[in-house]
Amino acid sequence: MKAWLVLFACLLPLAAQRPAQSPAPVPATTPDGFTVARPGYRFSFPKDHGSHPDFRTEWWYFTGHLWSADGKRRFGYQLTFFRQASPSAAWTGSAAWRTDQIHLAHGALTDETGRRFRVAERLNRGGLPADAALDRLAVFNEAWSAELGPEGAIILRMKVDDARLELTLQPATPPVVFGEDGVSRKGADPTASSHYITFPRLASTGTLKFGSAPPIPVSGQSWMDHGFSSNQLSAGQVGWDWAAVQLRDGRSLMAYRMRLQDGGQDPFSSITEVDPKGRITRSTRTFAMRAKGQWTSPASRTAYPQPLEVEAWGERWTLVPILADQELRTARSTGITYWEGACRVLDSNGKEVGDAYLELTGYAHSLKGRF
Amino acid sequence: MTWLVLRIVLRAMLRERGRVLLALLSVALGVSVFLSIRLANRAAVASFAGFAAGIGQGSDLVVRAEAGPLRETALPALRGLRDEAWIRPVIEGTFSRRGVGGGAPEGFQLLGTDLVGLAGSAPATAEPPDAGSGSMASSGEGDGGAAGNFYRSLQDPAAVLVSTALARAEGLRIGSALSGFVNGRPVTLAVAGIAQDAPNRPPLQRNLLVMDLPAAQMVLGRPGELDRVELGLRGEASLPALELAAAAALPPGWVLEAPETRASSARTMTAAFRFNLTILSLIALAVGAYLLFQAFDAAVNRRRETWATLRSLGCPPRLLNALVLLEAALLGVAGSAAGVLLGWGMAQGAVRAVSKTVDTLYGASAARSAQLWPSEAALAFGLGTLTCLAAAWLPARTAAATVPVQLLARGSGTRPARWQALSAAGLLLALAGAGLAFLPVLPAGVAWHAYAGSGLVLLGGSLATLALLPLLGLPGGRRAPWAVRLALRPLRRPTGRHGFAAAALAVAVGMTIGMGVMVKSFEATVMTWIGTNLRADLYVAPLGSEGMAAQHRLSAALAESLAADPAVLAADRFQVVPLRLRGAPTFLGAADFNIHGRHGHVAIIEGGDPNVLLPHLHDLGLADPSAIASETFTRRFGVRLGDALEIPTPSGLRRLTVRGVYADYGNERGSLIVDRPVFLDWFHDDRVASLALYLRPGLDPNREGKRLFAAHPGLQFRSNASLRQQVTTIFHQTFALTYALEVIGLGVALAGLVQALLGLALARRGDIWTLRTLGAKEGEIAAVLLGEGLGVALAGTLGGLAMGVLLAQILVRVLNPQVFGWTLRFALPGPFMGLVLALTLLAAVLALLPAARWAARLRADREAEEGA
C-alpha cells in the first residue's frame, strides 16, 4: 500500500497524461519500459524479498506493537523503505551515485505512555547512500536498515529523533502472497497491479533506547508488507484507508478502501482474512469502513475519521488510536501529509480483541499532482 | 550653559570652517581607511567559508584524506554515523573560460555534491521540498511535472546549478549553455537550475558552479574520488559524541577536522597579510591622531582670550575642559560617521585588491563586494571618536589648568617644545623597539615581538625626529640673509606644532620607506630566484591555473602527446597534491628529477649542486626515496637535511629522506618534491599540474607556443619571458593595496603639514605685520613661511627615512622569516628612496605654497577679531 505514496508523489503527473488502457491482455511492460505485475508470477524466496529494479516502484513496510518487559509501556512503530525508479535514461550516474533510483524512508515511533509521536524521514539516491540487495531482504537508507539474517529472522534498525529501535522479527508463518495468481489488482486498468507479499505475524523482540537512558527491552508483534509494481493508479482516486489488523484469536486482516473523488469506494477495494498458519481464508470487496468520530490535527488542520469502524462478513471491529496525533508531515521526502498509527481493536461489544495499524491518506490534500 | 556651548563651541566651529573641515577630513580619512581594510578582509575571508555554506547547511565536521583524494568505496564505513549526522560528499575542481576579447581567463569553482542527499538533509520546512531546498530539482522553471524535471536535471551529465548573480549578469536561463574548459578539455555545461536566494542561507557565490556528484566526477575525470566529506549534526545529536563516533569509524588514511579548519586555515594563511594591512590602516589613524592633537592645540591656543575671560568671570576649569572635549566629540562623531560611509565605499574597491591578492596567494577567494558589518562599523566609529577625544584631552587640560594671566600674556601660544628630552626619549624607545624585534629567538610563526618592536620604532623614531629641527635651523644663523634667518630661526627653538608636524610626516614616510624597502627586497629576491629557476622554453598548464592551490590537471595522455611533439627536446612533468603532515596542511610535489637536473635549475640552498643532486636522487629511486624540501617546509616542520619523514600516501605511510633544501617563495605552507617515479608508485596518479617543455635548439618558443595552442585551445602556453612577466605582474598586484595605503598615509601627513604651517603663520601674525610695515613684499613673506614649513617637512622626511630603514630591517630580517619562513635578501633601493624623498618634498612644496601665500596676506587687524 505504501508504494502508492511514492507513486502518487512522483508519477501521477506522468500517468495522468496517459489515456486509460482498454481491458485488453495485460502488456509485459509499461510504455516506458518497466515490467508490469502480471498473473502467473512465480515467487521464489529469499530472492523475491530482495529488490526488483525492473519494476518502477517497490516498498518494504514494517509496523508493530511493542510493550516493555513489565507491560506498563506501550509503543507502536512504523519503518517504511521505498524505492522509485526513473524511466530509462542515457545517463544513470555511477554505481555509487545512481541517478535512476531514488530511495525514501519514513520512520515513526508512538509512545503511548509518554504521549509522544516521533517522526523522521530519509530521501536518498540508490548506490552508497541507500540501496536494496537483489537476492535477499537487505535494504537500507542511511543508517536505517532491514535485513534478513541467516536464521530467518529480520533485523530492523532505526533511530527517530532521540529514540533508537533495534528489533529482531521472527516470522510465525511463511510469506503470504495477496491477490489472485500472484497479482494484487488496484484498479480497472489491468496494469494497475502489484506483486504483494506479507508477513502478517512477526514475533518481535529488541530494545528501545531514548537518548542516553538505559535501553528498554521490548517485545510484541510486527507486520511486514513488501510490494513491487509499475503502475497502480486509477483516475479519480483521492486517497485510501488501509488497515493491518492482528486479532487475538490468531486471525489477521488486511483491508484497503480506495476513496473516489465523489466520496464513494472504488470497487477494487477489498478485505482479506489470513489464518494463524498464514493461509488466506477469505477475501471480499463487500465491506465497509465508517468514521465513528473525528480528530483534527492542530498542525495541518486536517480532519481524520477516528475511530474507524470496519465491517465485513457480519463482524464489526472498531480501530481506536492509542494516541490521537500520529500524523506524518513529510516535507523532506514525499511531501505528503497523512495519518498512520497504532490502534486498539475493539469488537462490537467494546472488548479489546487485537491491535492494528491504520493508514489514512488523501485527507490533508488530494494526492493528485503532489510533489 | 546652552549659551556658552553655542557661543564658544558652535560659533567658533562655524567661524573656523577651514580648521574644522581639515579636522573632519583627518578623522574621516583615518576611520575610512581603517574600516575599508577591515571590511575588505572580512569579505575576502568570508568567501572561503561561503563556498560550501551557499549550497546548504554549514557542516560541523569535515573528513579528508591525509594524502590524495578520498575513495568513495570506503564511504560505507561512515554509515553508522548517519543517525546522528547528515553526510555531504564533495568533489571540487575548476571550470575556466577564456577571457572576453583575449582578457584574463575567468575561473569558476566547480563543486560536485550529492544533490539528492542535499535535498533530503535540508532543514524541515512547512512547505513540500520544492519550496527551496536548494537542489536542482527545486529550482527548475521549465515545463512539465516536477518529477520529470527532477530526473531530467539529475540525468543530464552536463547539468549545472548556477548562482542568481551569474544568471542575472549573463542572462542565463534554464537550458542555457556554459562553455569553457576543465583540465584543458573543452566542456559545455547546461544550466539546469538557478539557486534561489533564501533567507536562511548565504547566497551562492557568483563564480560557484554546482553539479550533481557523479556528473562532476565525470566532468573532472575523477570517477570514484571525493575531496572531502562534510558531516552535519542532526537534531539533538551532540558534536563531541559525533566526533568520537566519527574518529572510531574512519577508514585508515582518513582524517577528521573541524569544518572551521578550512576557513580558519585560510584565515591563518592570510592572517599575516591581513594583520599587515590592519597595522597599515591603523597608521593612517595614528597619523590622523597627531594632526587632531595639533588642530585642537591650535584651536585652544587661538581662543586663549576667551578661556581667560571665562575664568575671570568665575567659570570653573572643569567647564572649560568639558567645552573643549565637547567640540572634540562633535568633530569625532561627525568625522567618524562620514568615515564609516566613505570606508564602506572604499571597501568595494579594496575588496577587489584584497581578493586578487588572496586569490593569487591561495587560489580560493571569490569576494567581489564588501558588506557593511555593523560590528566593524561600530569599531571604526568608536575608534575615530575616541581618537578625537584623546587628541583633545591634553589641549583641554591645558585650557582648563592655565591661569588667566598666563593665557593673556602675548606670545604665550607658541611655547618651545622640550625637544632635547623628547628626542632623547624617542631615540631610547626606537632602540628598545629594535632590540625587542631582533633579540628574542621565538618559534616560527610567532611575530608579536616584531610587531611591537616596529610600533616602538615608529613612536620613538617620530619623537627622535624632533632633534632634527634645531639641526635644520642651524643655517639660519646671524650671517644668513634676513629671510633665511626668519625662516629657520623658529626651527632652532621648535614649538609643539613644529614637532607634531615633523613627527606625523616621519611616521608616514617611515612606513612608506619601511614597506617599500621590504617589497623591493622581496622583489629582488624573487626575481633572482625566478631567474635561476625558470629555464624551460615553454610552460604548459590548463587554462586558468595559477598557483599551487589550483585544481586543474592535465591527463597523462595529453602530457605525453605534448612531450612527444617533434619540437620538444625534453619535458618535465610537475604534479602536486595537498598533504596533511602532523595535522598541518602542506604540499607534496613530483618532478622529473632527471630531466630537471639536466635541463632545468632549482635554487638549492642546502644539499649541493642541483645538477648533481637531482640526477643522484633520481638514481636512488624507490630503493631510497628522497625529497627536496622548501625552506618554508623545513622551518614549519623543523626538518633538517638528512632527516627521514613518514609521508601519508594512498598506499599507506611511506618513508623518505630530505636530501636538499630549496628556496621557494611560491607558497607559505611549504612543500616537498619527490621524483616522479616515486610519486607514481605511491600515489597512482599520473596526471600533471604543469609541464615544462625544453625545445630543440634554434626553435622560437613564441611560435612553437602558438602552434601548440592552436591544437590545444584549453591549455595555456607561456614562454619563459611571458611567465616572468606574469610573475612580476602578480607580485605587484599583491602589493597594490600596500601602495595605496602608503599614499593615503602620506596624504594625511601632508595635510597635517599644511595645517601646521597655517597655525605657525597665525601665531606669527605680529611678525608678518611688522615685516610688511617694514616694507617686505608679500612674496618675500611667503618665502619665509614656506622655508619654515619646508624645514619641518625635511626634518620629517629625513627622520622618516632613517626610521624606515630600521623598520625595513625588522620586516625583512625578522617578520618575513618568522611569519612566512622566507629568507629575503636585504636590498636598499636607492632610486626608490630618493623618489619617495623627492616626491614627499615636492608634495610638501605644492601643499605649502598656497598656504604660505595665504598666510603672507594675513592682516594684523584679524588679531583684533580674536576672542570677540
Whether residue B324 is contained in a domain is answered as yes
Chosen for mutation from A97, A104, A118, A366 (greatest number of chain B CBs closer than 10 Å) is: A97
Number of other residues whose CB lies within 10 A of the CB of residue B640:
10
Question: Is the confidence at residue B497, as pLDDT, over 90?
Answer: no
Question: What pLDDT score was predicted for residue B817?
Answer: 76
Query: A308 pLDDT band (50/70/90 cuts)?
Result: very high
Bigger pLDDT: B498 or B656? B656
Question: Is the confidence at residue A22, as pLDDT, over 90?
Answer: no
Question: Is the confidence at residue B546, as pLDDT, over 60?
Answer: no
Domain match, B578 and B496 both: no
Question: What pLDDT score was predicted for residue B144?
Answer: 36
Number of other residues whose CB lies within 10 A of the CB of residue B766:
12
Rounded average pLDDT over A62-89: 94
Bigger pLDDT: B143 or B709? B709
Rounded CA-CA distance B347/B344 in Å is: 5
Q: Give the DSSP H or E segment for B291.
A: helix B260-302
Rounded CA-CA distance B226/B209 in Å is: 17
Question: What pLDDT score was predicted for residue B118?
Answer: 80
Alpha-carbon gap: B165 to the closest alpha carbon of chain A (Å): 27
Mean pLDDT over the full length of chain B? 78
Say yes or no for a CB contact (<8 Å) between A89 and B214: no
Q: Worst-scoring range by mean pLDDT, A24-38, A297-311, B68-82, B166-180?
A: A24-38
Question: What pLDDT score was predicted for residue B189?
Answer: 95
Chain-centroid distance, C-alpha A116: 22
Q: Are strands B106-113 and B208-212 parallel, antiparallel or unpaired?
A: parallel
Rounded CA-CA distance B640/B631 in Å is: 10
The domain total for chain A is 1
Rounded CA-CA distance B216/B72 in Å is: 14
Helix axes B736-763, B830-856, angle to 10 degrees: 30
Residues A94, B112: contact at Cβ < 8 Å? no
Rounded average pLDDT over B218-243: 86
Write out pLDDT tens, residues B748-776: 777 777 777 777 777 777 778 888 888 88
Question: What pLDDT score was predicted for residue B868?
Answer: 31
Domain match, B83 and B197 both: yes
Question: Cell numbers of B699, please?
Answer: 626553435
Domain match, B602 and B637 both: yes
The domain total for chain B is 4
Q: Worst-scoring range by mean pLDDT, B142-151, B471-480, B772-781?
A: B142-151
**Residue among B464, B466, B468, B467 at smallest CA distance from B430:** B464
- Kindly list the residues from chain A whose CB atom is less than 8 angstroms away from the CB atom of residue B147: 9-11, 13-14, 371
**Pick from B81, B122, B224: CB nearest A332:** B122
Query: B652 pLDDT band (50/70/90 cuts)?
Result: confident
* Chain A residue with Cα closest to B75: A128
Question: Is the confidence at residue B358, as pLDDT, over 60?
Answer: no
Report the share of chain B in percent with pLDDT over 90. Answer: 15
Rounded average pLDDT over A167-189: 87
Chosen for mutation from A91, A92, A328, A338 (greatest number of chain B CBs closer than 10 Å) is: A91
Domain match, B344 and B332 both: yes
Residues B752, B294: contact at Cβ < 8 Å? yes
Bigger pLDDT: A33 or A171? A171
- Kindly list the residues from chain B whose CB atom is less than 8 angstroms away from the CB atom of residue A100: 151, 155
Rounded average pLDDT over B444-469: 86
Write out pLDDT tens, residues B420-452: 888 999 999 999 999 998 888 777 667 788 888
Rounded CA-CA distance B631/B629 in Å is: 6
Query: B368 pLDDT band (50/70/90 cuts)?
Result: low
Residues A4, A84: contact at Cβ < 8 Å? no
Question: What pLDDT score was predicted for residue B267?
Answer: 41
Rounded CA-CA distance B582/B162 in Å is: 37
Parent domain of B282? 1-57+268-413
Rounded CA-CA distance B153/A262 in Å is: 37
Mean pLDDT over the full length of chain A? 88
Rounded average pLDDT over B458-486: 86
Residues A96, A135: contact at Cβ < 8 Å? no
User: Partners of B90 in the beta sheet?
Assistant: B113, B228
**Residue among A339, A335, A151, A189 at smallest CA distance from A268:** A189
Rounded average pLDDT over B127-152: 42
Highest mean pLDDT among A77-91, A302-316, B472-486: A302-316
Say yes or no for a CB contact (<8 Å) between A332 and B129: yes
Going B425 to B431 to B436 to B440, the CA torsion angle's sign is: negative
Residues B111, B216: contact at Cβ < 8 Å? yes
Whether residue A114 is contained in a domain is answered as yes
Question: Cell numbers of A83, please?
Answer: 524505492
Domain match, B402 and B422 both: no
DSSP A357: E
Say yes or no for a CB contact (<8 Å) between B155 and A102: no
Domain match, B566 and B437 both: no
Rounded CA-CA distance B163/B684 in Å is: 35
Question: What pLDDT score was predicted for residue B820?
Answer: 66
Question: What pLDDT score was predicted for residue B279?
Answer: 62
Question: What pLDDT score was predicted for residue B133?
Answer: 34
- 3 state DSSP class of B471: helix
Whether residue B728 is contained in a domain is answered as no
Say yes or no for a CB contact (<8 Å) between B117 and A90: no
User: Partners of A83 in the beta sheet?
Assistant: A58, A103
CATH of the domain at A194: 2.40.370.10
- Kindly list the residues from chain B whose CB atom is less than 8 angstroms away from the CB atom of residue A107: none
Amino acid (one-letter) located at A306 = Q
Q: Give the DSSP H or E segment for A317.
A: strand A315-321
Question: What pLDDT score was predicted for residue B135?
Answer: 37
Residues A361, A341: contact at Cβ < 8 Å? no
Say yes or no for a CB contact (<8 Å) between A332 and B155: no
Query: B68 pLDDT band (50/70/90 cuts)?
Result: confident
Number of other residues whose CB lies within 10 A of the CB of residue A135:
11
Q: Give the DSSP H or E segment for B806.
A: helix B778-810
Rounded average pLDDT over B129-143: 35
Whether residue A24 is contained in a domain is answered as no
Question: What pLDDT score was predicted for residue B442?
Answer: 76
CA distance readout (Å), B619 to B420, B446, B612, B626, B662: 69, 40, 11, 10, 19
Question: Is the confidence at residue B55, as pLDDT, over 70?
Answer: no
**Pick from B120, B217, B235: CB nearest A333:** B120
A→B contacts (Cβ < 8 Å), by residue, are 9-11, 13-14, 86-87, 89-94, 96-100, 102, 121-125, 128-129, 140, 142-144, 159, 161-162, 164, 211, 331-333, 335, 370-371
Whether residue B153 is contained in a domain is answered as yes
Whether residue A134 is contained in a domain is answered as yes
Question: What pLDDT score was predicted for residue B283?
Answer: 63
Question: What pLDDT score was predicted for residue B126?
Answer: 34
Rounded average pLDDT over A309-332: 93
Question: What pLDDT score was predicted for residue A13?
Answer: 34
Going B592 to B597 to B601 to B603, the CA torsion angle's sign is: positive
Question: Is the confidence at residue B281, as pLDDT, over 90?
Answer: no
Q: Are strands B185-194 and B159-162 parallel, antiparallel or unpaired?
A: parallel
Bigger pLDDT: B692 or B399? B692
Question: What pLDDT score was predicted for residue B852?
Answer: 82
CA distance readout (Å), B682 to B305, B472, B549, B620: 85, 69, 21, 15
Domain match, B10 and B29 both: yes
- Kindly list the residues from chain B whose CB atom is less than 8 angstroms away from the CB atom of residue A327: none
Domain match, B186 and B215 both: yes
Parent domain of A64? 3-16+45-360
Domain match, B291 and B235 both: no
Question: What pLDDT score was predicted for residue B270?
Answer: 46
CB pairs under 8 A between A and B: 115
Domain match, B496 and B582 both: no
Provide the strand spans (E) within B259-372.
none
Write out pLDDT tens, residues A230-281: 876 566 778 889 999 999 999 999 998 988 888 888 888 899 999 999 999 9
Preceding amide of A307 cis, omega within 30: yes
Say yes or no for a CB contact (<8 Å) between A331 and B214: no
Those residues whose C-beta lies under 8 Å from the C-beta of residue B48, and which sit 6 or more positions away, are B262, B263, B266, B267, B364, B365
Residues A240, A263: contact at Cβ < 8 Å? no
- Kindly list the residues from chain A whose CB atom is less than 8 angstroms away from the CB atom of residue B126: 331
Those residues whose C-beta lies under 8 Å from the C-beta of residue A260, and which sit 6 or more positions away, are A236, A237, A238, A266
Please give the full DSSP string across B183-248, using - where no structure is assigned.
Answer: TTEEEEEEEEEEPPP-TTSPPPPTTEEEEEHHHHHHHTT-TTEESEEEEEE-TT--HHHHHHHHHH
Whether residue A366 is contained in a domain is answered as no
Helix axes B17-53, B317-362, angle to 10 degrees: 40
Write out pLDDT tens, residues A337-365: 999 999 999 999 999 999 999 999 989 87
Bigger pLDDT: B281 or B539? B539
Those residues whose C-beta lies under 8 Å from the C-beta of residue B19, and which sit 6 or more positions away, are B295, B298, B299, B755
**Domain stop point among B211, B234, B258:** B258
Question: Cell numbers of B550, please?
Answer: 589550483
Whether residue A23 is contained in a domain is answered as no
Say yes or no for a CB contact (<8 Å) between A97 and B114: yes
Query: B685 pLDDT band (50/70/90 cuts)?
Result: confident
Whether residue B303 is contained in a domain is answered as yes
Residues B519, B816: contact at Cβ < 8 Å? no
User: Partners of B554 in the beta sheet?
Assistant: B688
Bigger pLDDT: B57 or B36? B36
Domain match, B231 and B299 both: no
Rounded CA-CA distance B309/B321 in Å is: 15
Those residues whose C-beta lies under 8 Å from the C-beta of residue A186, and which sit 6 or more positions away, are A4, A192, A193, A194, A232, A233, A234, A258, A268
Question: Is the confidence at residue B269, as pLDDT, over 60?
Answer: no
Question: What pLDDT score was predicted for residue B94?
Answer: 82
Chosen for mutation from A125, A297, A329, A334 (greatest number of chain B CBs closer than 10 Å) is: A125
* Rounded to 5°, angle at Cα B693 from B691 and B697: 180
Question: Cell numbers of B21, please?
Answer: 573641515
Preceding amide of A31 cis, omega within 30: no
Bigger pLDDT: B712 or A137? A137
Alpha-carbon gap: A252 to the closest alpha carbon of chain B (Å): 33
Question: What pLDDT score was predicted for residue B551?
Answer: 67
User: Partners of A167 in the beta sheet?
Assistant: A156, A206
> Cell numbers 612533468 label which residue?
B573
Rounded CA-CA distance B51/A357 in Å is: 46
Question: What pLDDT score was predicted for residue A175?
Answer: 94
Whether residue A30 is contained in a domain is answered as no
Q: With left for phi above 0 and alpha for psi between -120 and 50, is residue A275 left, alpha or beta?
A: beta
Chain-centroid distance, C-alpha A307: 20
Report the 3 state secondary structure along B125-188: CCCCHHHCCCCHHHHCCCCCCHHHHHHHHHCCCCEEEECHHHHHHHCCCCCCEEEEEECCEEEE
**Can you count the helices (H) and strands (E) in chain B?**
32, 21
Question: Is the confidence at residue A79, as pLDDT, over 90?
Answer: yes
> Cell numbers 580619512 label which residue?
B29
CA distance readout (Å), A20 to A229, A234, B54: 17, 8, 45
Number of other residues whose CB lies within 10 A of the CB of residue B413:
18
Rounded CA-CA distance A276/B690 in Å is: 73
Question: What pLDDT score was predicted for residue A19?
Answer: 37
Alpha-carbon gap: B702 to the closest alpha carbon of chain A (Å): 42
Rounded average pLDDT over B460-468: 91
Query: B668 pLDDT band (50/70/90 cuts)?
Result: low
Say yes or no for a CB contact (<8 Å) between A94 and B217: yes
ipTM of this complex prediction, to 2 decimal places: 0.86
Query: B712 pLDDT band (50/70/90 cuts)?
Result: confident
Rounded CA-CA distance B207/B95 in Å is: 10
Question: What pLDDT score was predicted for residue A232?
Answer: 61
Rounded CA-CA distance B837/B53 in Å is: 49
Bigger pLDDT: A142 or A30? A142
Question: Is the confidence at residue B819, as pLDDT, over 80?
Answer: no
Say yes or no for a CB contact (<8 Å) between B129 and A370: no
Bigger pLDDT: B683 or B394? B683
Q: Worst-scoring range by mean pLDDT, B420-424, B435-439, B742-746, B852-856?
A: B742-746
Whether residue A62 is contained in a domain is answered as yes
